[in-house]
Amino acid sequence: MAVEKSYYMTLEGKEKLEQELLYLKTERRQEVVERIKVARDFGDLSENSEYDAAKDEQAFVESRIAQVEKMIRNAVIIENDNQNPDVVSLGKSVTFVELPDGEEETYTIVGSAEADPFEGKISNDSPMAKSLLGHEIGEEVSVVTPGGEIQVKILKVE
């Protein structure tokens, strides 16, 4: 049997997934079942696009339920490392500036399951996070991105 992937996340991230799972199982699943029932009443299922769309949606919901259950089952909760408060690690926010004259940017490094760049949360699997992890305040770090290599200086870790 293959080893299942671990999903690194904060406690808050795990709770969000548990809420999503509850919603999918209690409300969303029922809504889709109702859509299928209504579509069946339209008659011939072989030419019924409403029925096909509802069945596709059911497959998507069931797939998402399975995915979220797996993520919760294999969740590894990120705890802040208070031993080294100046070192970039999972669960911490890091502020850096792109050299030579970029603007300050702040991101929280989280597991891929709860990454959301628009909310300032980047995955530990991203090129930026991989480059920053383990480095300290004041260090200059080389980051290889799809757009080329950049230099950043770590200003703050929280």
| Tens-place pLDDT, residues 23-71 | 999 999 999 999 999 888 877 777 788 888 999 999 999 999 999 999 9
pLDDT score, position 35: 92
111 contacts 123 by C-beta, under 8 angstroms: yes
Q: How many CB atoms lie within 10 A of CB 23?
A: 12
pLDDT score, position 100: 83
Average pLDDT, integer, range 11-23: 92
User: pLDDT tens, 109-158?
Assistant: 988 888 888 999 999 888 999 999 989 999 999 988 888 898 999 999 98
User: pLDDT tens, 64-95?
Assistant: 999 999 999 998 888 766 667 888 888 889 99
Q: How many CB atoms lie within 10 A of CB 99?
A: 13
Q: What percent of the chain has pLDDT over 90?
A: 43
**How far apart, in whole angstroms, are the C-alpha atoms of residue 11 and residue 94?**
19
In this prediction the pTM is: 0.72
* Mean pLDDT value across the chain: 88
Positive or negative, the CA dihedral 141, 143, 149, 152 is negative
